[in-house]
Structure 1
Amino acid sequence: MRTNQEVQIRDPFIYVDRKESKYYLYGSTDRNIWGKGTSFDVWVGNDLKNWEGPYPVFRPEQDFYSEENFWAPEVHYYKGAYYMFATFLLKGSGFRGTATLKSNSLTGPFTPHSEGVVTPDDWFSLDGTLHIDDEGMPWMVFCHEWVQIGDGEICAVRLSEDLKEALDEPVTLFAASDAPWPTSFKHKTRNTQANYVTDGPYVYRAENDELLLLWASFVDNVYAQGISRSKTGKITGPWLHDEEPLFSSDGGHGMLFHDLHDQLHLTLHSPNKTPNERPVFIELDENNGSIRRRDDESKRNR
């Protein structure tokens, strides 16, 4: 058994199993997260404080198309099976992208499902997440990376019903600089113009039926988490952006979920420095589409 402070993980993703009253914590778990590393694990808990594991959920075959940058796995239940969306750096092309894997169990083993990545072959892309629209059609929302285009973008693409391939060209939802809260930076060797990061999109349907998009960027070189809102309620937007980030204390790549007691939570990793990153769970209050940290509300009422 391990506590949150003993679990090193980036990009945490929680699957709530309401039948078994358990939480499954997935994420980027390779210790050498920025280089060689070929594994995904899961931690299992009855609360959000203590975890058993880690249990291996994906170990690639020798001929798998990637051997580094195994990032940001998240697991969704869809049409009778569990699908993992995960990012990989491709051996042949050197580009990154998101692929789908499949299992009949939350503890795996997951096996490759898509034929390579679902994102464009000549893009640096990452952090794909599943969204099912009002017509029941699957989409993948993902990031077109700043390392290629400077001003990182959030994009969406329609998927085949079996989640194996993209049906259309991706649609750009917005660029990071469209939002008021991220700030730019200059990189010493790559894209030395003003760069803006987009990381870890997650789609959430609010209680008032508003469609929200949680995503990460940087504020004065500090990792942060913000929210955007679809004016039409559709994934294609257009999108409006909250003025201030939801979290700006060196943490990000988060997602939203309701726990076994129906309390809304934000989970993310913090701090944003290897090997110190840990899963953080923050209770939220939701009111007519407005999302606030409960601890912020308590401070206001003092």
Structure 2
Amino acid sequence: MTSAPHPLDDVPCHDPYVLAVEGGYLLYTAYDSGRWQRQIPEGSDYPAPPGTGVLAWWSPDLVSWGSPTAVFTVPQDCWADPSVAPWAPEVHAWGDRYVLATTLHNPAERLPEVTQRTTRIAMSSDGWGDFTPVRRGTVLAVADDPRGPFQLLDPQRPHTPWSFMALDGTLTRDERGAPWLVYAHEWVQTVDGTMEAVPLDEDLRVAGDPVHLFRASEASWFRDVTPSTHALAPYVTDGPQLHQLPGGALAMIWASYRPDPSFTGGEYVETQAISPSGSLLGPWHQGEVLVGGNAGHGMLLTTHDGDLVLVLHRGMGTPRVRAEVHDITSTPSGLHATHQ
């Protein structure tokens, strides 16, 4: 196996997703060849892959990383703009193949603007610019190997609803074993971001209408916030991931911005929601924050040693965004995190 010379803190990484494979682990993250030198560890001489797409970094132990491989390239002939890098790639073992879920974009194709009782609501944020709704959605691609190459199942449209500005889709099976794509409906289009799901068939084709799960404003910390300019919309939903708790309840980890004047736009946090019945369709009860300090968009991984860990990124909105690993305890009532 090729050596892995870089510590995790050297690897630029938004929205990390780690898959356990034979002999080690693969860390998936997006890349943009135009910004390649800022996307690889300092001192590396890896050649830039073409275009935009998804990389897989290999590690034997979740500590040292190297040998990045381009596993998916945004094709020139799909609905999305191939010059815009994907978001939130993740790979699932699915039967006898592997499925990549990632979010693609077409910024030139605008969607209807947010209105309330015929009043247009213009989304903006200091330092971030205008937030006009544009085409964004999660796609699915398949491969025989976790190192790709992955091919889109449908190059003409995303798996999330065509009229929705959607992101961060994740594959799961419900309590009856039926497949679903769970995703975030972007706050840019809804003001109050939501978590939703679309049913799939066994060939991973969309098999029904989207189902609403919960809203970002239902997050537990809003109960304790004194009304102020720091407690107003928008409310963000990011990065859903599902985990079965001991005893049968279902947990969803997700990320959002907790009101905090010390962070521009709020403090990015990793939080959780619980479906006590174990049903994907809920009802969902909002739990407490797992990790704060401007960190989030996590995923849960069972290591080769049988340990449950949370992998997320810290430094949201800064020039240096890196993945980190936390130990996790899974209990019947929810999840609890400590840093490794």
**How many Å separate the matches in 2 of 1:185 and 1:62?**
46
- Give the aligned residue type for 1:88: L
Where 2:189 maps in the other structure, the secondary structure is helix
**How many Å separate the matches in 2 of 1:51 and 1:186?**
42
- Does residue 10 of the first structure (1) align with residue 24 of the second (2)? no
Q: 1:190 matched to which residue of 2?
A: none
Q: How does 1:1-302 map to 2 (within 5 A)?
A: 1-17=5-21, 20-30=22-32, 38-66=52-80, 67=82, 68-90=84-106, 93=109, 94-115=134-155, 116-163=157-204, 165-181=205-221, 194-219=233-258, 220=260, 221-242=266-287, 244-294=288-338
Given that 1:156 and 1:170 are in contact with CA atoms closer than 8 Å, whether structure 2 keeps it comes out as yes
Deviation, 1:285, is 2.0
- Give the aligned residue type for 1:7: V
**How many Å separate the matches in 2 of 1:6 and 1:289?**
35
Quickly say closer, same or farther: Cα 1:118–1:176, change in 2 above 3 A. Answer: same
**How many Å separate the matches in 2 of 1:263 and 1:199?**
25
- Give the aligned residue type for 2:24: K
Given that 1:12 and 1:28 are in contact with CA atoms closer than 8 Å, whether structure 2 keeps it comes out as no
- TM-score w.r.t. the length of structure 1 is 0.88
**How many Å separate the matches in 1 of 2:282 and 2:331?**
22
Quickly say closer, same or farther: Cα 1:180–1:290, change in 2 above 3 A. Answer: closer
Q: 1:299 matched to which residue of 2?
A: none
Q: Percent identity?
A: 35
Q: 2:47 matched to which residue of 1?
A: none
**How many Å separate the matches in 1 of 2:339 and 2:326?**
8
CA deviation string 1:207-253 (max 9, x = no partner): 332210000001121110111011321100000111x3111111111
Quickly say closer, same or farther: Cα 1:97–1:262, change in 2 above 3 A. Answer: same
Deviation, 1:186, is 7.5
Quickly say closer, same or farther: Cα 1:238–1:6, change in 2 above 3 A. Answer: same
CA deviation string 1:24-65 (max 9, x = no partner): 1012333759xxx61210001111111122111012332233
**How many Å separate the matches in 2 of 1:61 and 1:255?**
27
Where 2:161 maps in the other structure, the secondary structure is coil
- Give the aligned residue type for 1:75: V
- TM-score w.r.t. the length of structure 2 is 0.78
Where 2:325 maps in the other structure, the secondary structure is strand
Deviation, 1:2, is 1.4
Deviation, 1:281, is 0.4
Q: 2:48 matched to which residue of 1?
A: none
**How many Å separate the matches in 2 of 1:32 and 1:196?**
30
- Stretch moving more, 91-100 or 231-240: 91-100
Where 1:95 maps in the other structure, the secondary structure is strand
Deviation, 1:288, is 2.8
Where 1:9 maps in the other structure, the secondary structure is coil
Larger CA Rg, structure 1 vs 2: 2
CA deviation string 1:253-290 (max 9, x = no partner): 10111111111101101111343111100112223343
Given that 1:8 and 1:275 are in contact with CA atoms closer than 8 Å, whether structure 2 keeps it comes out as no
Given that 1:185 and 1:196 are in contact with CA atoms closer than 8 Å, whether structure 2 keeps it comes out as no
> What do you get for the CA RMSD once the two structures are aligned?
2.2
